[in-house]
Amino acid sequence: MTIAKGERLPDVQVMLASENGPEAAQTADIFAGKKTAFFAVPGAFTPTCSAKHLPGFVEKKELLDAKGVDQIVCMSVNDAFVMDAWAKDQNAYGKVVMVADGNGDFTQALGLAMDGKGFGMGLRSKRFSMIVDDGVVEELNVEEGGAFEVSSADYMLGQL
């Protein structure tokens, strides 16, 4: 079942990509006490994710901050080494917390997994965004199919 507005995010261990290497973290700790612009992509380095999704949040960081966002979190069902390389490629460090959900445990607990086997990608996350306040979902925006409309930084700015 898909998580809904008003529900608390599940507490799952994930890996953070950081300039100091991978770090294990609990999702409850990542989101605790913060207003978070949280978004997920089907895969690091994939076309829409690299050309529009992550860059939009990197570019709009100051505007999101001005609307009361304490942090931006990007998640993908990739390992922490891939997320690290992507963060460096996109100049995301210092602007976006990069979460590697390598086994898809958090994605599945959210009910937002998709089957990417037809594209040789296996289990992946649907493209989505959320506004999360202290671990509770305030807004949830899940894209249909291959769309990129309701999960963008611009769309989220309109919700804040």
Instruction: Answer whether residue 146 shows pLDDT above 90.
Output: no
Mean pLDDT of 3-8: 98
Q: What per-residue confidence (pLDDT) applies to 78? A: 94
Domain definitions of the chain by residue range? 13-159
Confidence bin at 122 (pLDDT 50/70/90): low
Candidates 49, 80, 98, 137; catalytic one: 49
Predicted TM-score (pTM) of this structure: 0.95
Can you say how many angstroms the Cα of residue 54 is from the centroid of all Cα atoms in its chain?
9
Q: Are 152 and 129 in contact, with CB atoms under 8 Å apart? A: yes
- Catalytic: 49? yes
Distance CA 19, CA 51 (A): 22
Q: Which fold has domain 13-159?
A: Glutaredoxin (3.40.30)
Mean pLDDT of 44-72: 93
Mean pLDDT of 84-89: 96
